[in-house]
């Protein structure tokens, strides 16, 4: 599972509002009128967050629901390197500035996402063409410029995103690791980010940590090793793109192991698809069975997060707020217009998993 679809591009994102408008109309037609869900930020004894994109800032319904439910905002795409970095090491932070300004204007704290990601930047940071000295200098300059631009304005940053191999067998080879070393590029990124924004909490962020125990274990060992190497890691980000069919207790076990490191933990990109990805047997589950699986796994996650010591509960963030905000429904994402993988329906009513989360938050 990925936070964003492969091949994400600006043209597709410009088309996204039109696709979602159609999806919104269909979803609204299917959704019975009823009460809006209680504000999540009032139920959670820690920051509750979701993601935002620049085109959503112009949608009154999105703004209304975001301000109703959220105390934190994560830029979904505007701070990714494919948007901020151009040819010849040119920078463009205007869309990022818009999201950050919207959040601050409306009293939301901001979580930065993401500084260094294995899947982006290779077109400009070409490790086969650049000397190591130039590569390192531009690497430092990018982090210092980007993170330093928002010094004192961000609650935290995903400094390094998804460094662990898909199956948990070691770490990903990428342009960053080839030029600066497998651990070296991460230590360097955290050092530069710390110098640029000393008060922000700096996160190592990864997915499938609950879904694949081997990957969770590799990730936590990596955190321990980087800390020993002096990396100023301040927190652990678990994306929590949940496979709702994983065994009961698996989420709790990972959260307990993660908590043992003593760092703040961010549930950073929560969603919980009803539909399986390809490659498995035909999915014969009923809608009721899928909803029950969602409720059980999302409830377990919320309970495990609530069981953390208070100082380790950094924030609880969903990747999109309503079903129609999800990357899973977009044409450039998974293109599943009927997917329902978030806590709120298209209108802002409570999906079944909402109640499990609300109950856990209020214990």
Q: Give residue 14's pLDDT.
A: 35
Average pLDDT for 76-84: 98
Mean pLDDT of 234-248: 98
With vertex at residue 44, the alpha carbon angle to CA 42 and CA 48, rounded to the nearest 5 degrees, is: 90
**For residue 12, pLDDT beyond 50:** no
Q: How confident is the model at residue 32 (pLDDT cuts 50, 70, 90)?
A: low
Place of tokens 């993660």: 258
- Annotation: CATH topology of 10-274+284-361: TIM Barrel (3.20.20)
For the chain, what percent of residues have pLDDT higher than 90? Answer: 88
pLDDT score for 16: 40
Query: What is the pLDDT, as a whole number, of residue 11?
Result: 31
Please report the pLDDT score of residue 35 as a whole number: 93
3-state secondary structure 93-153: CHHHHHHHHHHHHCCCEEEEEEEEECCCCCCCCCCCCCCHHHHHHHHHHHHHHHHHHCCCC
Mean pLDDT of 317-327: 98
User: How far apart, in whole angstroms, are the C-alpha atoms of residue 136 and residue 113?
Assistant: 21
Rounded to 5 degrees, what are φ and ψ at 157? -135, 140
Residue 313, pLDDT score: 98
Mean pLDDT in residue range 143-171: 98
Residue 285 Cα to chain centre, angstroms: 28
Pairwise pLDDT comparison (240 vs 10), residue with the higher score? 240
Domain boundaries, the chain: 10-274+284-361
Phi, psi of 238, rounded to the nearest 5 degrees: -110, 115
- Give me the residues paired with residue 205 across strands: 161, 237
pLDDT-based confidence at residue 87 (cuts at 50, 70, 90): very high
Judged against a pLDDT cut of 70, whether residue 1 lies above it is answered with no
Read off the pLDDT of each residue in 213-231 and give the average, rounded to a whole number.
Answer: 98
pTM, to two decimals: 0.91
> Would you state the pLDDT for residue 34?
82
DSSP-derived 3-state class of residue 333: coil
Kindly provide the residue ranges of all beta strands, DSSP E only, lying in the chain, ordered along the sequence. 48-52, 72-75, 85-86, 90-91, 109-117, 156-161, 201-206, 235-238, 265-270, 313-318
119, pLDDT greater than 60: yes
- Listed in sequence order, the residues at least 6 apart from 134 whose beta carbon sits closer than 8 Å to its beta carbon are none
- Band (pLDDT 50/70/90 cuts) for residue 33 is confident
Question: Which range among 1-5, 19-23, 211-215 has the greatest average pLDDT?
Answer: 211-215
Q: Hey, which residues are catalytic here?
A: 162, 269
Report cis status (omega within 30 of 0) of the bond before 193.
Answer: no
* pLDDT band of 278, cuts 50, 70, 90: confident
pLDDT at 4 over 50: no
pLDDT band at residue 3 using 50, 70 and 90 as cut-offs: very low
Phi, psi of 350 (to 5 degrees): -80, 125
Residue 8 in this model has a pLDDT that exceeds 70? no
Query: pLDDT (tens digit, 9 = 90+) per residue, 248-264?
Result: 999 999 999 999 999 99
Q: What are the strands, taking DSSP E only, across 207-349?
A: 235-238, 265-270, 313-318
């Amino acid at each position: 599972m990925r936070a964003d679809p492969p091949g994400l591009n600006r043209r597709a994102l410009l088309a996204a509002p039109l696709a979602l408008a159609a999806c919104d109309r269909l979803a609204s037609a299917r959704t019975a009128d009823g009460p809006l869900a209680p504000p999540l930020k009032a139920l959670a004894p820690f920051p509750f967050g979701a993601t935002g994109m620049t085109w959503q800032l112009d949608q009154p319904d999105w703004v209304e629901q975001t301000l109703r439910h959220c105390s934190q905002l994560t830029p979904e795409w505007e701070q990714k390197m494919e948007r901020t970095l151009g040819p010849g090491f040119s920078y463009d932070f205007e869309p990022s500035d818009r999201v950050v300004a919207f959040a601050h204007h409306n009293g939301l704290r901001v979580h930065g996402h993401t500084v260094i990601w294995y899947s982006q930047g290779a077109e400009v940071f070409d490790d086969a063409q650049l000397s190591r000295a130039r590569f390192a200098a531009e690497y430092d300059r990018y982090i210092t410029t980007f993170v330093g631009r928002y010094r004192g304005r961000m609650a935290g940053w995903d400094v390094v995103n998804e460094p662990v191999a898909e199956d948990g067998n070691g770490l990903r080879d990428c342009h960053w690791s080839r030029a600066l070393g497998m651990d070296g590029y991460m230590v360097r990124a955290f050092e530069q980010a710390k110098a640029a924004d000393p008060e922000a909490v700096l996160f190592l962020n990864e997915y499938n940590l609950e879904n694949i125990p081997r990957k969770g274990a590799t990730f936590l060992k990596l955190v321990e090793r980087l800390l020993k190497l002096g990396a100023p890691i301040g927190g652990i980000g678990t994306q929590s793109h949940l496979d709702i069919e994983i065994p009961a207790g698996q989420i709790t076990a990972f959260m307990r192991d993660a908590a043992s490191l003593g760092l703040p933990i961010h549930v950073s990109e929560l969603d919980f698809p009803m539909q399986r990805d390809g490659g498995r047997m035909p999915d014969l589950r009923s809608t009721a069975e899928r909803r029950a699986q969602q409720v059980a796994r999302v409830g377990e996650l919320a309970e495990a997060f609530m069981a953390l010591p208070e100082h380790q509960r950094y924030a609880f963030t969903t990747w999109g707020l309503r079903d129609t905000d999800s990357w899973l429904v977009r044409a450039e994402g998974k293109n599943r217009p009927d997917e329902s993988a978030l806590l709120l329906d298209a209108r802002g009513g409570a999906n079944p998993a909402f109640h499990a989360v609300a109950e856990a938050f209020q214990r």
